[in-house]
Structure 1
């Protein structure tokens, strides 16, 4: 399709405006983390790294960061196992209800987070609670895994569709066992998709706040929950900007790496 010069200019302006709406507020947060003025006067009258030092020395922020890391790693581990297994089942086998299974796996990421949170809260209180399984870090990991599974499943399923089964059939014809075929053929070809899915799953878990609010027990505070709890405390405002800046960086890096891996045309490089 050929566009006129005016149309191209308008499209570029719309693109710049859209990106500005998304990224200018993030840039302001990054700048304010070095703003020497507590009231965040603009433009910053001076620059300082004091808030970064205070953020690092804040015991609550460090504890929340470690909790978010543990929850993210746990949810990512569950998502990698379940998402990969379901992707193999859906792509490599034909059975009744296959499309329904695929829909049910993808559905949690489309549901509003508050719906998932309420459902999990009810399950832990009414079903698992009497069995001695209360809310805590485990419930947070389970809650995050419900939507982290989706990104792993989509990545692995897309890679399996691209690969087909010819290489695995050739391996079997040459006398390799199922385990040898998986180890030397299938896994190397899936490795970058698994890594990309794991990075995206960790990033989703690390930033989650709605589901965490409903599933975290007493004393369990992830970094997003800690930020929300301290957001309106004047003395904590500079520290909040630093923590938010760190979250921006921690979110951008895995998503960028995952995007590069997902676009790998060779399908097997890592």
Structure 2
């Protein structure tokens, strides 16, 4: 369908307004990270990189960053294993309750984070009797990061079909050999894309983390919340926010490039 020139102009203006609404606040955060005024006064009267130096020399901040990286990496690895197994089972086999399991795997990403956080907190502390710790935090992150891996692998397996795997089995290869030599090479790009998305989701998650981390664990998003309104810390928080945006965007960009290259 061919659109009129006036319609294209209106759509372009509307898209520009939406993008401005989304990304203008990010530009403000970037400007605040070099704002010479510790109270972030506007308009900006001076520019300084002092806050960047303070950020990279803050022991508490670096510790929180390492915690976030560690949790995200472990959650991503576990999600790769479980998500791939779930995708293989639900894409390649028929069994009772298949549709229900498919919905349950995807459900955590659709639920509000506060609902997931409260539910997991009650499950850990009341039902199971486990003290909130790094273990409970990683388990909580896996519940929603697994979805990104599962969706990517499930879709890729659906595109590939089963002919090559059946041919491998006819030639005498076992299940593991077929997966290692036939299936894995064809889904590895989807695994990589799913892992990048899982890492990005886990790294900047705060709502579920708040309910499942325990009092002694501080991730980068929690550090930001704790320091947001402390005196002279707002510019440093802006620096951390800029870094988090970059760290989150890189995996998303790479994931998009990888998935777009899948034939």
Q: Secondary structure at the match of 1:51?
A: helix
In structure 1, stretches of 5+ residues that fail to align are none
CA distance in 2, matches of 1:38, 1:115: 36
CA distance in 2, matches of 1:163, 1:253: 28
**2:256 counterpart of 1:259:** yes
Match of 2:151 among 154, 157, 176: 154
Structure 1 residue 166 displacement after superposition:
1.5
**C-alpha contact (below 8 Å) 2:227/2:233 kept by paired residues:** yes
What's the counterpart of residue 64 of structure 2?
A: 64
What's the counterpart of residue 109 of structure 2?
A: 109
Structure 1 residue 76 displacement after superposition:
1.1
Q: Secondary structure at the match of 1:134?
A: coil
**C-alpha contact (below 8 Å) 2:189/2:262 kept by paired residues:** no
Structure 1 residue 77 displacement after superposition:
1.6
The within-5 A match list for 1:63-212 is 63-129=63-129, 133-212=130-209
Structure 1 residue 43 displacement after superposition:
4.4
- Superimposed CA distance per residue, residues 187-217 of structure 1 (whole angstroms, 9 cap, x where no aligned partner): 1111111111111011111111111111111
**C-alpha contact (below 8 Å) 1:80/1:194 kept by paired residues:** yes
CA distance in 1, matches of 2:169, 2:240: 52
Q: Number of aligned pairs?
A: 263
**C-alpha contact (below 8 Å) 1:148/1:205 kept by paired residues:** yes
TM-score w.r.t. the length of structure 1 is 0.93
CA distance in 2, matches of 1:186, 1:139: 32
In structure 2, stretches of 5+ residues that fail to align are none
Match of 2:234 among 229, 233, 237: 237
What's the counterpart of residue 30 of structure 2?
A: 30
Match of 1:225 among 217, 222, 227: 222
CA distance in 2, matches of 1:159, 1:49: 46
Structure 1 residue 31 displacement after superposition:
2.0
**C-alpha contact (below 8 Å) 1:128/1:134 kept by paired residues:** no
- Superimposed CA distance per residue, residues 152-183 of structure 1 (whole angstroms, 9 cap, x where no aligned partner): 11011011011111222222333433322211
CA distance in 2, matches of 1:163, 1:52: 48
TM-score w.r.t. the length of structure 2 is 0.96
| Higher alpha-carbon deviation: 175-184 or 236-245 | 175-184
Q: Secondary structure at the match of 1:233?
A: coil
